[in-house]
Amino acid sequence: MLKAYNIKLSFLLVLISSLLLNGCSWIEQFMIKNSTTETIVVTYELNSPEKGFSLFHSMPTLYEMTSRKGIDWEKKKEVEDADTSYYRVNVKLPPNHVLIIGSLHNQKYESYDQDFFNDRHFNLKHLTIKTADELIDVTPQNFDKQFYKANGDIILEVE
């Protein structure tokens, strides 16, 4: 009887510890949403990190959007980067798709020049989005005016 009680108690402690450790971890994604009816072109350049971890990725991920403009995690698409250099990305973003270009782990994004944990770096040098009607130009200095935060994600939505 005592042995069964110890096993149940041990299992309960492991379960609670696992839940507590998992509950402390989160990811904030940097993304571009194309809510238009036309393909847009996203081009960005990254700074080479001297050390630590980069917020923005040279290999973005592409997903279809749901009818409510969320990410359809079941519909991941192949990314075709027209630029072959490692620190430049040039992608055609189809209508109703989202391009995830970076992520921040276990810290809330506040601004491009904030102090990031664990030697993370805001490594976005320049980003442009070309639509049929306009050219959107993003630099670190105007990044926070172009992107908005919603539900833990940092988003630039082209509508």
Under 8 Å between Cβ of 35 and 96 = yes
Please list the alpha-helical segments (H only) found in the chain: 2-23, 143-146
* 3-state DSSP assignment of residue 99: strand
Please give the average per-residue pLDDT across 83-103, as a whole number. 97
**Separation CA 50–CA 37 (nearest Å):** 40
Q: How many CA atoms lie within 13 A of 19 on its CB side?
A: 6
**Rounded to an integer, what distance in angstroms lies between the CA atom of residue 159 and that of residue 53?**
32
- Please tell me which residue, 17 or 152, carries the higher pLDDT value: 152
Proportion of the chain above pLDDT 90, given as a percent: 78
When pLDDT is cut at 50, 70 and 90, the band that residue 9 belongs to is low
pLDDT band at 4 (very low <50, low <70, confident <90, very high): low
- pTM here? 0.84
Query: What per-residue confidence (pLDDT) applies to 15?
Result: 44
Helix or strand (DSSP H, E) at 156: strand 153-158
Residues 6+ apart with CB under 8 A from 123: 46, 47, 48, 49, 54, 55, 56
Q: Is the dihedral of CA 46, 127, 29, 108 positive or negative?
A: positive
pLDDT at 23: 55
Q: How many CA atoms lie within 13 A of 74 on its CB side?
A: 1
